[in-house]
Amino acid sequence: MATVLPYDDDQGGKKAQVRQMFDNIAGTYDPLNRVLSFGIDQGWRKKLIARVRKHAPASVIDIATGTGDLAVAVAQATPAQVVGLDLSPNMLQVGKGKVAAKHLQNRVEMVVGDSEALPYPDACFDAATVAFGVRNFEDLPKGLAEIRRVLKPGGKLWVLEFGRPANPLVRWGYNFYSFTLLPFVGKLVSKDARAYSYLPESVRAFPSGSAFTSVMEQVGFKSPTFRPLTFGICMLYEGSV
């Protein structure tokens, strides 16, 4: 798998660059996300939440929580105690504001941390979620193995990540949008010249569908599955411990 970096090679490793990039764009991340995805990402999150509700976990860790949308949604949809963990303090700062605004401070804890070295003992969460985070991990197998380590036996992992549409017409439209319009608007609004061109480049280089479930399987998740959403623009992955 080719490593796509947000910035130049001489600006540290992928992890440091990813943290820097999300710290840079934290202030505009939410509004840009809604506009650039036409709000479709909300529907994808709802599909994941429906799966979490069905499993009814008592504790959930939302890895790469960013500004905390999924952590808050899990807390609103279930009685679970939720940890939202992310590398970027600025993204978490926005998330903490949301948690406070919804009076969820006693149910949602926002923690600075690295998915590849989770600050938790083995087998302490019932479920884990990751939305649009795994693509940014520096070491994907290590990050997934760490998530597996902190899940209890029978625990569940759900992942949302961009995929590659199979239909050639949809793929053409999606590529046109994500390699031209998206970087243009993203650069204009976020003031980070690279963040929104890194996005499609990193999606293209990332394992999708069965290539991703193979990595889940390699690190010990049982019977991983995937479900394409919106013509495969997004994938919902599920695995058990």
Ligand X SMILES: C[S@@+](CC[C@H](N)C(=O)[O-])C[C@H]1O[C@@H](n2cnc3c(N)ncnc32)[C@H](O)[C@@H]1O
Chain residues binding ligand X by CB under 6 A are 15, 18-19, 22, 64-66, 69-70, 85-88, 91, 114-116, 131-133, 136-137, 143
Place of tokens 């960013």: 66
Nearer to ligand X, 18 or 108 (CB): 18
d(CA 63, CA 66) in angstroms, rounded, equals 8
In the chain the first and final C-alpha atoms are separated, in Å, by: 25
Nearer to ligand X, 44 or 226 (CB): 44
Tell me which amino acid residue 144 is. Answer: L
Minimum CB separation of residue 169 from ligand X in Å reads 27
Nearer to ligand X, 143 or 232 (CB): 143
Minimum CB separation of residue 36 from ligand X in Å reads 12
d(CA 98, CA 106) in angstroms, rounded, equals 13
Nearer to ligand X, 222 or 227 (CB): 227
d(CA 191, CA 194) in angstroms, rounded, equals 9
d(CA 33, CA 95) in angstroms, rounded, equals 14
Minimum CB separation of residue 179 from ligand X in Å reads 17
> Which residue of the chain is nearest ligand X when measured via CB?
66
Minimum CB separation of residue 79 from ligand X in Å reads 21
Pairing of strands 59-63, 125-131: parallel
Nearer to ligand X, 45 or 156 (CB): 45
> Which residue in 192, 122, 100, 202 sits closest to 161, CA to CA?
202
Nearer to ligand X, 81 or 88 (CB): 88
Minimum CB separation of residue 69 from ligand X in Å reads 5
Nearer to ligand X, 65 or 81 (CB): 65
Minimum CB separation of residue 158 from ligand X in Å reads 12
